[in-house]
Structure 1
């Protein structure tokens, strides 16, 4: 397959095996999200300090909606959702995921949230991003990952840039937060 260094073909993939894959990088590993993670995940997503960085408002999230989402993500061949866990303590600290995978164009959208604020600004997010990129390019054979980030999320922009993401587009005054319109920055990384 031209342009696909792994030679992976979508129709030959073992999705059950891929959904149970663990990828390590630096201080973290990303592992499949478990049902037992959902309670903590809901708490994080409903926290206004975390929610302000997310692309959707989860303030009305409840366990029933989260359970439905979990089932859908578990069965989807176009979404991979991971728990981020510290390698040392084996502590669940956040989530990341590859979403809206377009197998024909070998691309996906990426999202991440470090829910445990004790791990903010210490490189755990950057390591998780690296693990997800490695999984996407080496295991899935994807060639491009895109994301959107709000201009006020300076820490995330710095992490994405350090991981190799480049700014592709700026959607001017696209996002309303705290009665102020902010830019949304679209970034992407391509396989080398």
Structure 2
């Protein structure tokens, strides 16, 4: 995989060298991981190494780090996991809180969705987000994803049940 760039960001393969104290701090921060399924696990450097290694050893996964062009800071990750029928799941985490609310999520989703359709020849990408994660929902909707369904009472957060939005975007041939 080559490096993917936008005006503000660089996307490149996430490796074991990217498993740092900063990355680990994102996963143990309750505010950052509140909408991640991994919030149910205890995270250590060892478990993070194993996770990155397992993701990268599956040829159906593309695990990318999001880096700022101006500071070369690793600020988050985006992942595409291919399934059958040229369909894949996409997920994103912006770990650096100082980049929240600056359009990084939408820019990353747009860029990697376009790359997945063009370079991976995918025909559909799917995503999910918890109903109270409005920032994620807005980012996906802003980038052309549509709500395809809603799973009621699907997850538990702070001992309360919440629903999940199921989103998708289908490849559109450009004329």
TM-score, normalised to structure 1, is: 0.84
Q: Does 1:149 align with 2:129?
A: yes
Q: For 1:162 and 1:87, how far apart are their aligned partners in 2? A: 23
Indicate if the aligned counterparts of 2:106 and 2:143 stay in contact, CA closer than 8 A: yes
- Residue equivalent to 2:23: 41
Residue 128 of structure 1 deviates from its aligned partner by 0.9
Runs of 5+ in structure 2 lacking a partner?
A: none
Deviations 1:40-89 (A, max 9, x none): 22210111001111123254011222212222222221111000011222
CA apart distance, 1:125: 1.2
- Pairing of 1:2-81 with structure 2 (within 5 A): 18=1, 21-39=2-20, 40-57=22-39, 59-81=41-63
Counterpart among 62, 69, 72 of residue 87 in structure 1:
69
Asked if structure 2 preserves the Cα contact closer than 8 Å seen for 1:168 and 1:188, the reply is yes
Aligned equivalent of 2:89: 109
Q: Is 1:191 equivalent to 2:166 in the alignment?
A: no
Preserved CA contact (<8 Å) 1:26 1:127: no
CA contact 1:47–1:59 (8 Å) conserved in 2:
no
What's the secondary structure of 2:51's corresponding residue?
A: helix
Query: In angstroms, what is the RMSD of aligned CA positions?
Result: 1.4
Q: What secondary structure is seen at the aligned counterpart in 2 of 1:127?
A: helix
Distance 2:68 2:40 in 1: 25
**Other-structure match for 1:120:** 100
Residues 66 and 78, structure 2, Cα contact 8 Å, conserved in 1: yes
Structure 1 regions of 5+ residues with no counterpart?
1-17
Q: Do the aligned partners of 2:16 and 2:53 also contact (CA within 8 Å) in 1? A: no
Per the TM alignment, residue 36 of structure 1 is displaced from its structure 2 partner at its CA by 2.6
SS of the aligned residue for 2:19 comes to: helix
Normalising to structure 2: TM-score of the pair?
A: 0.92
**Cα–Cα, structure 1 residues 46 and 25, in superposed 2: closer, same or farther, change >3 Å?**
same
**Count of residue pairs the alignment pairs up:** 171
